[in-house]
Amino acid sequence: GAGVSQSPSNKVTEKGKDVELRCDPISGHTALYWYRQSLGQGLEFLIYFQGNSAPDKSGLPSDRFSAERTGGSVSTLTIQRTQQEDSAVYLCASSQLRNTEAFFGQGTRLTVV
Amino acid sequence: QKEVEQDPGPLSVPEGAIVSLNCTYSNSAFQYFMWYRQYSRKGPELLMYTYSSGNKEDGRFTAQVDKSSKYISLFIRDSQPSDSATYLCAGLRGSARQLTFGSGTQLTVLP
C-alpha cells in the first residue's frame, strides 16, 4: 500500500475485554514499531520488530500487552483484560532497515469504558 | 526526568511570524534528532532530521541542534495557518531504533 495502514481507526471496548489492533506496514519495510499516545502526552514506545530478529519488547507496560508480526509484514497488538488507563491512540510505524525515517499510520483510538 | 522535554504550549502566532519551537534532552547518546508534525487525529509525519550538531534547512523550516547545551530547535519562517499542528521533537540513539519523543507543542497560526 501507499502508507502504513491501521485498523480499526476507532475502538470502544468494555473494561476487562480483550482487543486486537492491526498494522499493515509499507511494503518492503523490515522494521515495525508500536507506540502509544495518551492525551496531551508524547509518544511512548511499546515494541519494535526488525526482520526475523527477536522483537524488542522493552516498552510494553504490562504482561497484558503482547504483539506479533506474521511473515515479516502485518502486525497485531493485543491488549488483554483492558483497563481504563489503556485508553489512548495506538500508533504503528515502519521503516526500511537502517533508515531513520519512520512512517506512521493514522493510529487506532482505543477507548475503554 | 524525561529524556526529552518539550514545552506543551499552546503557542499562538499571527500568520507570517517566525516560530521557534524548542526541546531539551538529557541522553548524551542521542545521535539523531527529529521533528515530527502531527495534525489533529492524524499520525505524526517526519519534517526533518539532523545528525549530531548543526543546522539543517528545508524551505521555511530550519532545525538546529546544540549538543553542548543539549538543546534542539525548530524554526518556521513565514508561518502559515496550514502550519497549525502539534510539533514533536525526538531523539534516536544510533544503536537503538526506537525514538524517544517529547510531549509535543501545539501551534496555532492565526490568519
pLDDT of residue A51: 84
| Residue pairs between chains A and B whose CB atoms are closer than 8 Å | 55
Q: What is the pLDDT of residues B18-27, one digit of tens each?
A: 999 999 999 9
- Testing the interface with B: which of A6, A29, A38, A100 to mutate, by most B Cβ within 10 A? A100
B6 interfaces chain A, CB cutoff of 8 Å: yes
Show residues of chain B in contact with A93, CB under 8 Å.
Answer: 43
Interatomic CA distance for residues B76 and B100, integer angstroms? 22
Show residues of chain B in contact with A59, CB under 8 Å.
Answer: 98
Q: Are A16 and A82 in contact (CB under 8 A)?
A: yes
Question: Which positions ≥6 away from A25 have C-beta within 8 Å?
Answer: A4, A32, A73, A74, A75, A92, A94
Which residue of chain A comes nearest to B41, CA vs CA? Answer: A106
- Going residue by residue through chain A, which has 113 residues, state the pLDDT in tens, using 9 for 90 and above: 579 999 999 999 999 999 999 999 999 898 999 999 998 678 999 999 988 888 999 999 999 999 999 887 999 999 999 999 999 999 999 998 666 788 999 999 999 99
B14 backbone dihedrals φ, ψ, rounded to 5°: -80, 155
Distances A8 to A46, B4, B20, B45 between C-alpha atoms, Å: 19, 30, 36, 20
Going by the DSSP 8-state scheme, the letter that residue A54 receives in this structure is P
Show residues of chain B in contact with A35, CB under 8 Å.
Answer: 101
The whole-angstrom distance between B45's CA and the closest CA on chain A is 7
Q: What is the pLDDT of residues B54-111, one digit of tens each?
A: 899 999 999 999 999 999 999 999 999 999 999 999 998 866 678 899 999 999 999 9
pLDDT of residue A42: 81
B49 interfaces chain A, CB cutoff of 8 Å: yes
B76 interfaces chain A, CB cutoff of 8 Å: no
- Asked if B88 lies within 8 A of A42 by C-beta distance, the reply is yes
Show residues of chain B in contact with A109, CB under 8 Å.
Answer: 41
Residue B31 has pLDDT above 90, yes or no: no
The whole-angstrom distance between B48's CA and the closest CA on chain A is 9
The whole-angstrom distance between A42's CA and the closest CA on chain B is 4
Three-state secondary structure of chain A = CCCCEEECCEEEECCCCCEEEEEECCCCCCEEEEEEECCCCCEEEEEEEECCCCCECCCCCCCCEEEEECCCCCEEEEECCCCHHHCEEEEEEEECCCCCCCEECCCEEEEEC
The whole-angstrom distance between B85's CA and the closest CA on chain A is 13
pLDDT of residue B54: 84
Distances B107 to A56, B38, B86 between C-alpha atoms, Å: 33, 10, 6
Q: Which one, of B101, B102, B47, B44, lies nearest residue B75 by Cα? A: B47
pLDDT of residue A41: 75
Interatomic CA distance for residues B90 and B102, integer angstroms? 6
